Structure 1
């Protein structure tokens, strides 16, 4: 007896999401804007592998951080026994690459990256097991000017994306010796109030007490507010550096708030730290975090090298873009090619290539399982494609060496149809699309003709 049981459907891993075609215009708009803004500040793209040696993160992030303790996807390579990890963030990988390839031999570098990161945490709004980040790393710059430039770059990005609900918080966490003095006093302070600490705070008390200041537990807010402030421990150099950042931001009219509770869980941060936050995403309010990490290059075996950077959580930012109310309509093409009959199909292929040569995006109707499709069903698909024009070739057009061009989205809502000489269709459509200024999400600045 044969087993006719239907195969079980396989679904994706929870917290690792598909980005579907309907969402593509929003992602493309964001990615194109990011690329334009970063390029305008002289940043060059770097692409590092998704998998890195596990010690890279254990050394860089600190063994006693949530990421290393419980969030990393780590495994042993079965072929050679290497300990590997799917990257939970990109700063460590970028610094590793800069060191390995001696990128700063001829001077400081402004680098940027984009791509997926992985953390084994409980999926929730704006937090996923596979998520995407865009980030910038400025390696080899020591002054407060680069810190301020990175912040201003972010402000320009929010402006270009039309986002006005993001605000800036900054702080200085000083240098290692200043943090050590503060840490001693912080531990002593929390020890005196052990009875008010929750389980998370007790666990972090001696290992990573700075993170207690970042608690979201409402019952601990008063205790944390009264804790020793790191800003009071800053030495002359750290204070001057932070004053330098503030001075540039004030002079450039970038609004900000100094948040003395703003800290970093990673071991490698020092001096300036900053976050861009919003009230529109519930508890997951941070859309971008950054700061200075001068010790990291030396921690990875390089010469002492100052550095500063930031990372943007792409999914959270896209949520904000959606909330702004702007519509992002997925347009497949400028032109949809409709045809009836074998000869017409051959002509449609020729015309499709000519239109693409002219810089237009073209969808040529192809047969489905139900067959080639009637004229009416093809026109329905043309309308659904978002195209500005349908170009129709039937028996009459083949014999007269013309094509019928139908306006699908006229300025007055009227659809018009006219017959155009076959050899003139490309020129006619380019004139129509550029002349009408069709806002279809495509860049027609690249329209060209091949001879």
Structure 2
């Protein structure tokens, strides 16, 4: 490669640029606040796990395991490793390894990058970010409903309106076996109408045929046996319990009999939050109950339910819901000229930061330190509430010029403030303008 050849990011692995960072921060702060308000505790698991963890958790006969996982052999010891394609497997592995549920149920949440080698498209990337929640050790329909209501609160707080809930139950293993036998028989009777993917899955994973996006198969799938008709006893009571709680809390939903999971450890409640605004990639959050999984991983029988949401897709919805968030880069921009003024600017900058303010100090660029005029342009562009200006006159007098940058033209005020009084002056002005100012906090 020549020195002049430009290196670009790997296809499907995207940079998050400063212009988009405020929206990401708004989403992350909002979802973390809501998760904490429901009692969820954060867990952080490795990005790389043993390949067999995901083969066992996701299922060997799935597109993810067959085609999409970034797997490799560790050249140091020959271990088979994989970049995580989803978060539940790692969380469950951590619950078992560290015996987290020994003293009772746990509400856990995580966030971070996931990796799948698939064709990049809008809202679907090779490196993508998820937030997930896992409620471990709870048996009733109440926790299922709580997770769904948590999501609704998030959409409300983010101002997302065109998001709807689809709900279903896939019962227990015995009920699915009876349904599976009838489903295979039904599709075998219409084998000539199945596409290549459906034929491949017919005997290994027939439930996934119900989730086909092939328009030519929609009528066939609509007439297929419905798993809801096979539910009995406890499964039916659990599903009715979830629906009753949602109804009493005015959570609107649609029962979608075609909403399934093609992996054996999923059971009972499954749900998805979907939108029409993202084209084919309309699911922004998917969840469900997976009571058998922890025992399958070698732990004690422990019920569990959770969800995962794609951050990129939600950011897309946030962009379409309103103006992009562009908070100020800082509270104060320090403008200075001359060596002594620069030294005093450093001192004031640290004092202002000690008071909890965000401060940008003007630094030289290849074109030079910059005139007062050019520095003031940068101060205004930063979104700062105030510019603190230091030059030769200010150094001689021991008084900084503090200029308000956010008032109406003609209303912008400038005051001369002793160096030792700059922090109190700026803090008083900001608190006076906004009693709920998030940045200002005092250190003990």
> Above 0.5 in TM-score?
yes
Corresponding position of 2:54? 57
Alignment of 1:135-284 (within 5 A): 135-284=132-281
Tell me, in whole angstroms, the C-alpha distance in 1 between the residues paired with 2:141 and 2:270. Answer: 12
Matches of 2:3 and 2:60 in 1, distance apart? 47
Q: Is the 8 A contact 2:173 2:264 kept in 1?
A: no
Q: 1:443 aligns with which of 412, 434, 438?
A: 438
Q: What CA distance in whole angstroms lies between the structure 1 residues aligned with 2:364 and 2:166?
A: 56
Matches within 5 A, 1:308-327: 308-327=305-324
Call closer, same or farther: CA 1:133–1:449 in 2, change over 3 Å: closer
CA RMSD, 1 decimal: 1.4
Contact preservation (8 Å) 1:22, 1:330: no
Offset, 1:172: 0.2
TM-score of the superposed pair, with normalisation by structure 1: 0.96
Kindly indicate whether residue 288 of structure 2 is the aligned counterpart of residue 291 of structure 1.
yes
Q: Secondary structure at the match of 1:22?
A: coil
SS of equivalent residue, structure 2 residue 101: helix
Q: Structure 1: how far apart are the matches of 2:412 and 2:204? A: 70
- Where 2:279 maps in the other structure, the secondary structure is coil
Question: How big is the shift at 1:413?
Answer: 6.7
Name the counterpart of 2:15: 18
Do the aligned residues in 2 keep the contact of 1:61 with 1:267 (CA within 8 Å)?
A: no
Query: Following the alignment from structure 2 to structure 1, what is the Cα–Cα distance between the partners of residues 268 and 184?
Result: 21
Residues 164 and 402 of structure 1: CA distance in aligned 2, closer, same or farther (over 3 Å): same
CA distance in 1, matches of 2:330, 2:83: 37
Offset, 1:244: 0.6
| Deviating more after overlay: 199-208 vs 105-114 | 199-208
The 8 Å contact of residues 23 and 324 in structure 2, kept in 1 or not, is answered as no
Give the distance between the partners of 2:256 and 2:219, measured in 1 at CA. Answer: 15
Q: Structure 2 residue aligned with 1:399, among 385, 396, 399?
A: 396
CA shift for structure 1 position 265: 2.6
Gaps of 5+ in 2: none
Q: Please, what TM-score do these two structures have when normalized by structure 2? A: 0.98
Q: CA deviation at 1:330?
A: 4.7
Correspondence for 1:379: 376
Q: Distance in 2 between matches of 1:202 and 1:410?
A: 67
From 401, 405, 408, the equivalent of 1:408 is 405
- Rounded to whole Å, the distance in 2 between the matches of 1:43 and 1:361 is 30
